[in-house]
Amino acid sequence: MRILFCTKNDVFGASILNWILPRLGEHQVKVLLSDKTRTEENSVQALVEEKFLERDLPLRALFPLIDQQTAAGTLLTFEGCRQRYQVEIDTIYRINDADAEAMIRDWAPDIIVSARFSLIFKKNIEKIPPLGIFNIHPGALPGYAGLYAPLRGVLNADKQLGCTLHQVDEGIDTGAIYSVSYLPFNAERSIFGHIAQLYTLGLTSLVELLNNLARGEKPQLKVQDETLFRYFRLPDEAAFARLKTLGVDLVAFNVYSDFIQQFVPEALARQLSQALSPQALEQLTHQISTDGIDKTVLAFSERLEHTIGDFTT
């Protein structure tokens, strides 16, 4: 089967590829990475900080340093995934224009899969794969459509968070559902600490779906109840203030530190342990409010390089 797998150019997109690519060895796979920043991500401080941790820090500082090494970590960077699994990985900014459509038609996927892909497919792309487009959404549909579903679930005092695998139609998160899976919410892990786990639930259902399709079985899909459908946009400052009153962090830095260090090769682990400690990462994140992202990333990159240099000289 030819699978066009679409995810996001961020640290979770990398973790998604680490999980799914070893399980798609019998298929032909091409990967597209979306690269999109919404206006609110540069204006709401909590979103600025999250973007920094999910994209700027790993993609602009840590991953390039790791890619210079001969060894790899437990988790691979995008370049590491490209090399180990011999898969084509391209970044895309528009998915529905003539060039993107021509590229997809030329590659001729049997199915398109979206997991954390920030771009919305329109009808011209939906018609290309004979098996359709399926999306992994980190929220239980139909009640948690749109953006930041895990956060919305926590604000609603949900005891468990859901992930949905559904078919893509002309709406946003409105397509028929293949599966909804759940995991318990643990406040100590923060919102961030559940994201990778949620996608793993959806990816597990995806593997089941692909196996069934390979056997010629038609997937059993359930049409969403429109009366229960709720769509959420990016949260504002008030939403994050409510989260704080619940005693839940958007990002727990001990969880983030453990997660990001999985990308670090063992040979560099000791050298970078201090720079990637929870305390250092928290201080670095607070620094962007005064120095800005570009200056903070540059200073952090230089610190990592100097740290490695001090250990090797």
- Residue 249: domain span: 2-308
Residue among 116, 201, 209, 221 at smallest CA distance from 160:
201
- Which residues, 6+ apart, have CB-to-CB distance to 234 below 8 Å? 38, 40, 41, 44, 47, 147, 148
Residue 64 lies in a domain: yes
Q: Which residue has the tokens 């599966």?
A: 179
* C-alpha 124: how far from chain center: 25
59 assigned to some structural domain: yes
Position 243 in a domain: yes
Reduced to 3 states (helix: H, G, I; strand: E, B; else coil), residue 152 is helix
Looking up residue 158, the CATH number of its domain turns out to be: 3.40.50.170
Q: Is position 313 within any domain?
A: no
**Per-residue model confidence (pLDDT) at position 91:** 97
More confident residue, 171 or 313: 171
Structural domains of the chain, count? 1
Model-wide pTM > 0.85: yes
pLDDT in tens, 73-124: 999 999 999 999 999 999 999 999 999 999 999 999 999 999 999 999 999 9
> Residue 227 corresponds to which tokens in the numbers above?
């009366």
pLDDT of 313 > 60? The answer is: no
